[in-house]
Amino acid sequence: MKSVRSDAVSRRRVLKGAATVAVASSVPTGWAIAQAKPLKVGLMLPYSGTFAKLGENITFAVEILLAEKGGKLGGREVQIVKLDDESKPENGPQNAERLVKRDAVDVLIGTVHSGVQMGIHKVVRESGTLCIVPNAGANAVTRELCAKNVFRTSFTNWQPAHGMGLALGKRGIKKAAWITWDYAAGAESGDGFKEGLAKHGGEVVKTLTLKFPETNFQPLLAQIPDLGVEAVGSFFAGGGAIQFVKEYKAAGIKVPLCGSGFLTEGVLGPQGDAAEGIETALHYGDGVDNPKNAAFRKAFKDKTQRDADVYAVKGYDAAQLLALGLEAVKGNLEDEANLYKAMRSAKFDSPRGAVSISPSQDIVHNIYLRRAEKGENKVVGIAAESLADPGTGCKL
């Protein structure tokens, strides 16, 4: 069976061959033929399950950026192909192959779940397809497994939780627990939290986990009062985060709950009073004050009747980064050297504030400290300014 990589390479060779013939016979070049075709952008995201709303918000935001650009990127019409990955890691590689091989997408934007991301990553590394990660934080994607065709506009799992650990450590917290789903996002966020805390002499004395996407929190919550900790850090998101925060409050646990900001992001409405006062750290928050954010929030509300959240922001930025790269090469994806150069050196205004791309092609951004108050994740400080992931092991 032919590999995806050899298909992609031979597709490029066909185009290059066509260009050579065209010069001799003055018919349109291979590139001119390719340019006339719409640019196919695959959105591989969860549209069902616990992360469904996250995938929807990313999609709406991509559509908003496209509409702002008149439906074209780098002069090319854009055709969107959507695929529901259901946040199922076991189907990740097969779903990514469907987009890359069957649908022949030129660009893949995806996904939310770190485990599914690893499946996408395997496929796009082999095929050379340009991939922009709009949420999943799996560290390896922009660390030891980084690739020149893969960019991330979201975060590494390490980043937000590291900010939370630093903030607790600075205020003198010495003993904390970590509670999460047992998969990459939970474990890697836990490492970031632990490292942040340790910088100020604090430690995580206990880690409590359950399988993704299970929500049987009671046996874990029951252990917390006897741990002798001053804070409980956590990573949960989407539907699971709603239930966790409500059950934590209902259990009457006196130890303050905090976490990576996904814990309260986009879910404060259904969490209600249970979320009041919870501190989290994230690369976005209510009260981030800049013109880009004001315009984006309005556009998002007008389109969806929902308030924008961090997922929407990262989807918008995935499309912003793609637009910026394609504009630099006038829509010619074959000009990889200049496309990647433009994307790597990108500095742009995100609704979250000014951002840039790190040498390992992850995003560099502020990590805000937020407190949940009356339905808002109010920014109360900066936990880490312009924080770049260490990019450990990445050689590009």
Q: Could you list the residues that contact ligand BEZ (CB under 6 A)?
A: 51, 112-114, 135-137, 157, 185, 237, 262
Q: Which is nearer to ligand BEZ, 35 or 156 (CB)?
A: 156
Instruction: Give the nearer residue to ligand BEZ in terms of CB position, either 235 or 248.
Output: 235
Q: How far is the CB of 241 from ligand BEZ (least distance, A)?
A: 9
The encoded tokens of residue 333 equal 């994806």
Q: What single-letter amino acid sits at 383? A: A
Q: How far is the CB of 212 from ligand BEZ (least distance, A)?
A: 8
Contacting residues for 83 by C-beta, under 8 A, at least 6 apart: 42, 43, 44, 45, 95, 98, 99
Angle between helices 336-344 and 310-328 (to 10 degrees): 140
Q: In this complex, which beta carbon is closest to ligand BEZ, that of residue 181 or of residue 217?
A: 181
SS3 146: coil
**Gap between the Cα atoms of 131 and 134, Å rounded:** 10
- Of the candidates 190, 200, 193, 194, which has an alpha carbon nearest to the alpha carbon of residue 169? 200
What is the closest distance, in whole angstroms, from the C-beta atom of residue 271 to ligand BEZ in the complex? 15
Comparing C-alpha atoms, which of 43, 40, 35 is closest to residue 318? 43
CA torsion sign for 196, 241, 213, 218 is: positive
* Cβ neighbours around 23 below 10 Å, total: 10
Nearest approach, Cβ of 209 to ligand BEZ (angstroms)?
Answer: 14
- Minimum distance, C-beta of residue 280 to ligand BEZ, in the bound complex (Å): 12
Residue from 229, 223, 235, 220 nearest 202 by CA: 229
Hunting for tokens 């199922």 — which residue is that?
Answer: 88
Give the helix/strand (H/E) hosting 194: helix 184-198
Nearer to ligand BEZ (CB atom), residue 237 or residue 324: 237
Q: Which is nearer to ligand BEZ, 95 or 157 (CB)?
A: 157
Distance of closest approach, residue 116 Cβ to ligand BEZ, in angstroms: 8
In the complex, the smallest distance separating the C-beta of residue 322 from ligand BEZ, rounded to whole angstroms, is: 20
Residue placing its CB nearer to ligand BEZ in the complex, 35 or 361: 361
Region of residue 191 (phi > 0: left; psi between -120 and 50: alpha; otherwise: beta):
alpha
Q: Which one, 248 or 262, has the nearer CB to ligand BEZ?
A: 262
By the 10 Å C-beta count (0-12 exposed, 13-18 middle, 19+ buried), 43 is classed as: buried
Q: In this complex, which beta carbon is closest to ligand BEZ, that of residue 138 or of residue 333? A: 138
Taking the complex as a whole, the smallest distance from the CB of residue 237 to ligand BEZ amounts, in Å, to 4
Instruction: Give the DSSP letter of residue 29.
Output: P
